[in-house]
Structure 1
């Protein structure tokens, strides 16, 4: 029996496997020798031409070559995998001596910062923060604040109504009304009410259909207009500088009597007149007044025993004045070029230039 062909195939494989350098080439070599039409498989087909006496020895020789090739291929697969892993580790080596990646820190949104500053000031005076519903009833949004259905100030075009009795709140005053009712006629009440409000308004540089508002309420025995003036004077100095002065101008609000508009002396021109104060030397910042007896009575407080004051301001306007922002829409566009300027301010930049 001639087995030289078997030895030649094994020798040819051993020579070929030495030149294999990647997984694909090894797979091609495996198919060439062990596939259905491979060289080793072809050797088995020759057994039909052998005598019965020669077949066992021939079959054993072919199986020995098959086992040898299979073993070498498995070893080569392991070797190639290890080489690939080592190469990858070398390419992806981390240099632990390099400095770590830096992460840019953001800064509070100017509107959020202003609201927090206002809240911190009033909390320092002993006020509580009260929050309420943005979808309100007509009663708490208007009627409980001395605005009956026939009142001329209740123009439906100024409000977003869901139904005759449900609407998006037009101010945070309903929170005051609900807070007073929850106290069941027992003072003192000392709260500020921050939140979003909604009115039908055209979007321009100074108006928006959605904006923020902070209202304050104090109800107790022996509360006077002088308490309101002193509180707002402290607030103006805290927000705009110790040299600020305020003035009170008579005004009208249905839920306060008497009512006043509050102006601060212009922080840019010091009262001389400029573009910020429209050449008047004063800037209007909020409305306020003494709580109307009807509002106290509807909330369960005896107006002969209790009195109070209330005020309302727009943090948007406070922020625009404080940081020199000319367009209210900048607060709501999420433009990083605008917001990033306030990080520079935190780092010591100038806050006086218009943004």
Structure 2
């Protein structure tokens, strides 16, 4: 074996020992670099005769080509080994089921709102909707709420730009303002039809007002059972002889239908609300299940205060009725056994998909 054959063999052996592309480049430099062994042979031919240059030069070129071929072969081998390593690390099991796009569904609170609307709709109640940015008059004053009431405090209510100093705008704290708005429009139509004076409470003939107002409301409150944004559903029934007896019957029938339980018991505890008199808190108790025997508050109610009836444009000497309010979020928690209100608003698909 001549010196050039030995050089090619040495290059091949060194290339074969290279475990990484960096190692291979270092090995290449020993043979084909600026100071490599092949480069030195090329430089050494300057001292040879013309005939020797031809013979020696051709032989050195053949050796160089063989070394470059061995280098490229090793590069390809290392690249293939790296590719196989990546494929192994990122292997795909084609027998696994594919990822499918899931079907959407209504939010559990939306399901509850639809259920509430359907039940009260079967009792002849209309569904009204109104602005979430409300003025002070409809949200507080028209509902007989005094100026020094805590609910008017900045600590309890989100006030927003707009309105005036005496009539600021705010994010509604309940949906009761829409009861007044709906009643005012209802009375206005019949007042105009009867040709009654606009500046006097209306005491003429008029169909009953029967309406529920579901929607979003806002208060400065946040914990496991309260949220700054939450849902309410207010109800109103105004007529000539609507009593507390009718209120108890309507709400009892609603609760038993909503929870699909005839064993459900309701309790009306005396309370105070500025817009009703007398007023009561509504508690329910289940006869069976995990909540059996416990009283749970689900709403408030009462006879509509005469001042509120008057603010609706009606004569409280002739027209009377009841109002109630409940939290669909609380009803949803009870219906589905959820103990943290915040889960409804976290947007966790794993939680929400249970209600599809």
The answer to whether residue 232 in structure 2 is matched with residue 214 in structure 1 is: yes
More off after superposition, 295-304 vs 188-197: 295-304
The answer for unaligned runs of 5 or more in structure 2 is: 100-104, 190-206
CA contact (8 A) 1:262 1:287 kept: yes
Give me the whole-angstrom Cα distance separating, in 2, the residues matched to 1:120 and 1:97. 43
Which residue, 267, 271, 286 being the options, matches 2:286?
Answer: 267
210-219 vs 90-99, greater mean Cα deviation: 90-99
Backbone CA RMSD of aligned residues: 4.8
Aligned to 2:213: 192
Whether 1:28 aligns to 2:23 is no
Counterpart of 1:311 in structure 2 is 324
The CA deviation at 1:141 is: 1.6
- Say which of 116, 124, 130 aligns to 1:121: 116
Residue 228, structure 1, aligned to residue 255, structure 2: no
1:238 aligns with 2:227: no
Contact 1:264 1:284 in 2 (8 A): yes
Q: For each residue in 1:238-266, what CA deviation from the matched residue of structure 2 results, as whole angstroms up to 9, or x when unmatched?
A: 3453123445566553334x543154564
Identify if the C-alpha distance between structure 1 residues 175 and 46 changes in structure 2 by more than 3 Å, giving closer, same or farther.
Answer: farther
CA spacing shift, 1:46–1:209, aligned 2, 3 Å: closer
Contact 1:6 1:43 in 2 (8 A): no
Q: Confirm or deny: 8 A CA contact 2:282 2:297 kept in the other structure.
A: yes
Structure 2 CA distance for aligned equivalents of residues 20 and 45 of structure 1 = 27
- Contact 1:128 1:192 survives alignment (8 Å): yes
> Which range moves more in the overlay, 151-160 or 63-72?
151-160
Deviations 1:206-256 (A, max 9, x none): x86847452323457667235433320112213453123445566553334
Does the Cα contact within 8 Å between 2:151 and 2:157 map onto a contact in 1? Answer: no
Aligned residue for 1:130? 129
Q: How far off is 1:189 after superposition? A: 5.7
The equivalent of 1:173 in structure 2 is 176
- What per-residue deviation string (whole Å, max 9, x for no partner) do you get for residues 5-26 of structure 1? 4443234324444555553443
Note the 1:54-93 alignment, pairs <5 A: 54-89=52-87, 93=91
Q: Please state whether the residue corresponding to 1:159 is helix, strand or coil.
A: coil
Q: Is the 8 A contact 1:236 1:245 kept in 2?
A: no
- In the superposition, the TM-score normalised over structure 1's length comes to 0.64
Instruction: Tell me the secondary structure at the aligned position of residue 147 of structure 1.
Output: coil
SS state at 2:301 partner: strand
Q: 2 CA distance for matches of 1:275 and 1:158?
A: 36
- Which residue of 310, 331, 336 maps to 2:341? 331
**Count of matched residue positions in the alignment of Structure 1 and Structure 2:** 314
* Residues 110-136 of structure 1: per-residue CA shift (max 9 Å, x gap): xx7467435413333325363642x54
SS at match of 1:311: strand
Distance 1:264 1:242, change over 3 A: farther
In the alignment, structure 1 segments of 5+ residues that lack a partner are 102-106, 278-282, 347-355
Once the two structures are TM-superposed, the CA of residue 84 in structure 1 deviates from its matched residue by 3.7
CA contact (8 A) 2:233 2:328 kept: no
Change (3 A) 1:88 1:341: closer
Could you tell me how far apart the structure 1 residues matched to 2:211 and 2:297 are? 24
1:299-345 CA-to-partner distances (Å, cap 9, x unmatched) read 567879976542112456656777889xx8x43489x9xxx99999x
Secondary structure at 2:174 match in 1: coil
Q: How far, CA to CA, are the matches of 2:86 and 2:32 in structure 1?
A: 31
Match of 1:286 among 299, 315, 334: 299
Q: Take 1:115 and 1:15, find their aligned partners in 2: how far apart are those partners?
A: 74
Taking structure 2 as the reference length, the TM-score comes to: 0.64
- Provide the secondary structure at the position in 2 that maps to 1:125: helix
**Partners of 2:210 and 2:30 in 1: how far apart?**
92
Instruction: Quote the residue 1:349 is aligned against.
Output: none
**Residues 197, 67 of structure 1: alpha-carbon distance in 2 compared, 3 angstrom cutoff:** same
- Secondary structure at the counterpart of residue 36 of structure 1: coil
